[in-house]
Amino acid sequence: MAQYDVVIIGGGPGGYNAAIRAGQLGLKVACVDKGVDGGSTLGGTCLNVGCMPSKALLHASEMYDSAANHFAELGIDVAPKLNLTQMMAQKAISVGQLTKGIEFLFKKNKVDWVKGAGRIAGAGKVEVMGSDGVATTLEAKNIVIATGSLPAGLPGVTLDQQRILDSTGALSLSEVPKSLIVIGAGIIGLELGSVWRRLGAQVTVVEFLDRICPGMDTEVAKTFQRTLAKQGMVFKLSSKVSGAKASKTGVSVTVEPVAGGAAETLKADYVLLAIGRKPYTEGLGLETVGIAPDKRGFIETDHWKTSAPGVWAIGDVTLGPMLAHKAEEEAVACIEAIAGKAGHVNYAIIPNVVYTSPEVAWVGKTEEQLKAEGRAYKSGKFPFTANSRAKINHETEGFVKVLADSVTDEILGAHLIGPHVSEMVGEYCVAMEFRAASEDVARICHPHPTRSEALRQAAMGVEGWTMQA
Ligand code: FAD
Ligand code: NAI
């Protein structure tokens, strides 16, 4: 029986980063992965059917939209023609290169990649069922569960991946829908809704709550919704879907007001169900080591340790935001803890990004959270209309908002909506990790002309001395 210091089940951002870190620290490590949606490549949801393919389509569709609608303003007259087959092909090529990259990193760090479905078979044992039906057992001093998550279902809406799709289906349509109904105004719904709207679909988003993107600062969410609506996305808030019926050519969706009242039927070519994801622990053998997931199926941990000795859990399968970089943080900390080091994750400083246009990015507390905590705070805000780089690039939608403690001036949250803010929020992550005051950012020289100057001007605003607006 092969013996390991660490056997990791799952090869997504949690699992593959854990495996690489374990290899770096000289631990004997195997990563068991069964692939996602019938595939056999490493990288989990993120690389195969999540972050990477969605960003590939967001980038390509934004280029198409720019060429069709914005180049003329810059003095470039073109008439773009969509080649969806090529758009999908370039996505697949990039994804293939990225998943191969993980294979290379496994070899470089002496990680054994064991292909197949892993199942815990009692303390210190992982049984792997290969696609050839042959089972092997690995012996492990430590088992790390990194099995990730799956799309959540909705009663009355049966996924067929033909007309009623989850995110995986919506990432690989072979035609542009004339109309698309998105159930759920969360991150997947708005990112993939944006992709297909830009390519020509009429997109209607049905959301249970009276707002989009729960968890996002409300002021930002309102601006975001207004912007998406201006782009042509239609929102039906405070509405619930009670059923969807697919035919060969389309789908009928029954929508009811949450507050009660008459139901209406909406028709579309396709439906995308995006109401969240659920932890994935099916067939994992948790009962063999006495682990009972919580009511929603998550594995509870204390510093990545489960209730079973020698069994750890990280990433989407545990509580916390379902984000690739959260899984990666936990991977490093968990393996360092296994290696006897001081693993640490600062859960207060995990950034969030929505990769639409404009982008939305934030880190730390929202105004609503600070109010609920009764924390006295000040805020500074700066619009991109007053930022010279944004202005010359004709990308002036949005603003930066900084929230700081009223007494100490420590930065408590930063909320950005605007051009390329995904690349800018990291500055506030660093500042907050160093427990910077807003004045620190306000007094740091930023290059001109850049969008990053908006970060500084907003920080100046906390003490009321924003200079350029
Ligand atoms: P996963 O990536 O889900 O990996 C788990 C792996 O374990 C899979 O390969 C699975 O097949 C395997 N597995 C499961 N059970 C077993 C078993 N018993 N035996 C062997 N293998 C098993 N996050 C971001 O931070 N940024 C983004 O831009 C972003 N975009 C996204 C877009 C979409 C459309 C989706 C769906 C998700 C997106 N996410 C994004 C979320 C991100 O993909 C997840 O948070 C991340 O992949 C979680 O990593 P993980 O390692 O915990 O699990
Ligand atoms: P989500 O949790 O972001 O949004 C789900 C939305 O659906 C919420 O607004 C919710 O109120 C709504 N909803 C729930 N039940 C509903 C119902 N019955 N009818 C109508 N609306 C309903 O989940 P989503 O978008 O599916 O994404 C799943 C996860 O993937 C998220 O947790 C996110 O962290 C991750 N992700 C991250 C991305 C990024 O970082 N850019 C991109 C895509 C996904």
Q: Is 150 in the pocket of ligand 2 (CB under 6 A)?
A: no
Q: Is 273 in the pocket of ligand 1 (CB under 6 A)?
A: no
Q: In this predicted structure, what is the pLDDT of residue 174? A: 97
Å from CA of 275 to ligand 2 middle: 5
How far from chain centre, in Å, is Cα 414? 18
Residue of 51, 143, 287 to mutate, ligand 1, most atoms within 8 A of C-beta? 51
What CATH number should be reported for the domain whose range is 164-275? Answer: 3.50.50.60
Q: Nearest bound ligand to CA 127?
A: 1
Q: Report whether 335 contacts 25 (CB < 8 A).
A: yes
Q: Is 322 in the pocket of ligand 2 (CB under 6 A)?
A: yes
Residue 237 has pLDDT above 90, yes or no: yes
Euclidean distance between CA atoms 25 and 340, whole angstroms: 11
Task: Provide the residue ranges of all domains of the chain, joining segments of one domain with +.
Answer: 2-151+278-345, 164-275, 349-462
Å from CA of 12 to ligand 1 middle: 5
Q: Is 59 in the pocket of ligand 1 (CB under 6 A)?
A: no
Nearest CA to ligand 1 atom 37: 50
Q: In this predicted structure, what is the pLDDT of residue 31? A: 98
How many Cβ atoms are within 10 Å of 154's Cβ, its own excluded?
19
Nearest CA to ligand 1 atom 30: 51
pLDDT tens per residue across span 13-56: 999 999 999 999 999 999 999 999 888 999 999 999 999 999 99
Per cent of the chain over pLDDT 90 is 99
Euclidean distance between CA atoms 24 and 108, whole angstroms: 9
Mean confidence (pLDDT) of the chain: 98
Å from CA of 49 to ligand 2 middle: 15
Euclidean distance between CA atoms 53 and 74, whole angstroms: 29
pLDDT tens per residue across span 346-377: 999 999 999 999 999 999 999 999 999 999 99
Nearest CA to ligand 2 atom 12: 184
Residue of 277, 355, 425 to mutate, ligand 2, most atoms within 8 A of C-beta? 277
> In which band, very low, low, confident or very high, does the pLDDT at 258 lie, cut at 50, 70 and 90?
very high
Q: Is the peptide bond before 151 cis (omega within 30 degrees of 0)?
A: no
Q: Is 291 in the pocket of ligand 2 (CB under 6 A)?
A: no
Q: Report whether 198 contacts 230 (CB < 8 A).
A: no
Q: Token pair for residue 357?
A: 């246009």
Q: Is 148 in the pocket of ligand 1 (CB under 6 A)?
A: yes
pLDDT tens per residue across span 143-161: 999 999 999 999 999 999 9
Nearest CA to ligand 1 atom 26: 51
pLDDT tens per residue across span 420-467: 999 999 999 999 999 999 999 999 999 999 999 999 999 999 999 999
Q: In this predicted structure, what is the pLDDT of residue 1? A: 84
Minimal CA–CA distance to 6: which of 140, 115, 125?
Answer: 140
- C-alpha neighbours within 13 Å on the C-beta side of residue 206: 24
Euclidean distance between CA atoms 276 and 298, whole angstroms: 14
Given 59, 70, 325, 448, the catalytic residue: 448
The reply to whether 448 belongs to the active site is yes
How far from chain centre, in Å, is Cα 133? 34
Kindly give the number of the ligand 1 atom that is closest to the alpha carbon of 170.
34
Q: In this predicted structure, what is the pLDDT of residue 188? A: 98
Residue 176 has pLDDT above 90, yes or no: yes
Q: Nearest bound ligand to CA 321?
A: 2
Q: Report whether 149 contacts 284 (CB < 8 A).
A: no
Q: For the packed helices 13-24 and 84-108, what is the interaxial angle rounded to 10 degrees?
A: 30
Please state the pTM of the whole predicted model: 0.98
Tell whether domain 2-151+278-345 is in CATH 3.50.50.60: yes
Å from CA of 174 to ligand 1 middle: 24
pLDDT tens per residue across span 99-121: 999 999 999 999 999 999 999 99
Q: Is 167 in the pocket of ligand 1 (CB under 6 A)?
A: yes
pLDDT tens per residue across span 187-222: 999 999 999 999 999 999 999 999 999 999 999 999
Å from CA of 107 to ligand 2 middle: 35
Best CATH choice for the domain 349-462 from the list 3.40.50.10800, 3.30.390.30, 3.40.47.10, 3.40.980.10: 3.30.390.30
Q: Token pair for residue 460?
A: 């100046």
Euclidean distance between CA atoms 240 and 224, whole angstroms: 21
Element counts in the chain: helices (H) and strands (E): 13, 22
Q: Return the sign of the alpha-carbon dihedral for residues 176, 178, 183, 187.
A: positive
Nearest CA to ligand 1 atom 7: 10
How far from chain centre, in Å, is Cα 226? 22
Strand 179-183: give its sheet, edge to edge: 164-165, 270-273, 179-183, 202-206, 234-236
Å from CA of 36 to ligand 1 middle: 9
**DSSP 8-class letter at 382:** E
Q: Is 354 in the pocket of ligand 2 (CB under 6 A)?
A: yes
Q: Nearest bound ligand to CA 51?
A: 1
Torsion of CA 285, 290, 294, 295, to 10 degrees: 80
Residue of 45, 47, 126, 168 to mutate, ligand 1, most atoms within 8 A of C-beta? 45
Kindly give the number of the ligand 1 atom that is closest to the alpha carbon of 151.
36
Q: Is 35 in the pocket of ligand 1 (CB under 6 A)?
A: yes
The 3 state secondary structure assigned to 80-94 is CCCCHHHHHHHHHHH
What is residue 425's three-state secondary structure? helix
What lies within 8 Å, CB to CB, of 69 at 6+ separation is none
The 3 state secondary structure assigned to 27-82 is CCEEEEECCCCCCCCCCHHHHHHCHHHHHHHHHHHHHHHHHHHCHHHHCCCCCCCC
Minimal CA–CA distance to 400: which of 455, 461, 439, 450?
Answer: 455
Å from CA of 334 to ligand 2 middle: 27
How many Cβ atoms are within 10 Å of 414's Cβ, its own excluded?
31
Kindly give the number of the ligand 2 atom that is closest to the alpha carbon of 213.
9
Same fold, 164-275 and 349-462: no
Q: In this predicted structure, what is the pLDDT of residue 38? A: 85
Euclidean distance between CA atoms 198 and 200, whole angstroms: 5
Minimal CA–CA distance to 434: which of 333, 346, 324, 373?
Answer: 346
Å from CA of 443 to ligand 1 middle: 40
